[in-house]
Amino acid sequence: MIAQNEKERAPRNRTMELTEQDVEIYRRRVIYSENDLEDCRNRIICGDTFKLLSKFPEKQFDLMFADPPYNLTKNFGENLFRQTSLDNYEIWLDSWLKETVRLLKPTASIYICGDWRSSSAIQRIGLKYFTLRNRITWEREKGRGALKNWKNAAEDLWFFTVSDDYVFNLESVKAKRKVLAPYTENGKPKDWEKSDGGNYRLTAPSNLWTDLTVPFWSMPENTAHPTQKPEKLLAKIILASTNETDFILDPFSGSGTTAVVAKKLNRDFVGIEADENYCLLAEKRLQLAENDKTIQGFSDGIFWERNSLKFVSRKGAKSAKKD
């Protein structure tokens, strides 16, 4: 694999790339051999998920987040996934999902990503091995239009558990939303708080997420991976379904979003990815996360509505100038 070419690009384009020096440095950190899995905690493994899952010890993971290829023909770096029939896609899903069952603790949770084509298959195969808890639908904010169909702007997250005894930290994932018509009781705010930036209230999270921004070229977390998930999405899942130092498995690690967010939130992880370029990008992101723990849309333990944190920051800056 060769480093990405240094191309002239827009000044605000912050998409992460690899230099030749990066390649040399991060290759030393990636695990390439299935014989080195004894020391795989907090590591990225470059290899075939289908071969590697059978090598892990039993009952060690507290959470699995899986973002497998959807049933679409798409290039993932040097690997091509070809669209197939729904029946064949279900067989493919089953072939790796069944291998994860023995790896999960009895208290573990499982989240699997899908789009409208693949969701029904994920539900059916997931139910063979786990208990279904919910389907989360999240708005991608951007999507391609179609002449004879609705614009595809949403994806699903299927939430399963191994048993009825599982972690769900409700208080850790409450959202802060702006109150347009605040309700008072005896002249005092009820279920909301007043601040210089506006009126806000904490709300319990629903299974419809409309506060996410898909990484794009001006965001520092953006990479060239075609299906990269927002760090904020992983933060919600990890905070809800794990505690600090819990162990997270991502069998389709891509450019390392799960690993990066796990590191930022003090969880342990292992990521498996077949494409070396994405493994190296993940390692670069992990190094940056040593000093930068920020997650867009998540601040001071609170998830903010899309763009509202920016609004609050502006209001706060204006107030400071007046003072």
CATH number at 252 reads: 3.40.50.150
Which pLDDT does position 201 carry in this prediction? 79
For the chain, list residues with pLDDT below 70.
1-14, 72-81, 141-144, 181-185, 187-191, 195-197, 215-227, 306-323
Tell me which residue range forms the domain holding 223.
Answer: 20-170+205-295
Crossing angle of helices 119-129 and 86-100, rounded to 10°: 40
pTM: 0.85
C-beta separation of 205 from 176 below 8 A: no
Which pLDDT does position 320 carry in this prediction? 43
Q: 51 in a domain, yes or no?
A: yes
Which pLDDT does position 196 carry in this prediction? 67
30 phi-psi bin (left φ>0, alpha ψ -120 to 50, beta other):
beta
Q: 305 in a domain, yes or no?
A: no
Please give the tally of structural domains in the chain. 1
Which pLDDT does position 317 carry in this prediction? 45
Q: 303 in a domain, yes or no?
A: no
Q: 322 in a domain, yes or no?
A: no
Q: 162 in a domain, yes or no?
A: yes
Q: 233 in a domain, yes or no?
A: yes
Half-sphere exposure of 150 (CA within 13 A, CB side): 4
Q: 94 in a domain, yes or no?
A: yes
Which pLDDT does position 124 carry in this prediction? 97
Q: Report which secondary-structure segment, H or E, holds 120.
A: helix 119-129
The tens digit of pLDDT for each residue in 230-271 reads 999 999 999 999 999 999 999 999 999 999 999 999 999 999
Residue 300, token pair as written in the block: 């001071």
Q: 72 in a domain, yes or no?
A: yes
DSSP assignment, residue 181?
S
Q: Mean of the per-residue pLDDT values for the chain?
A: 84
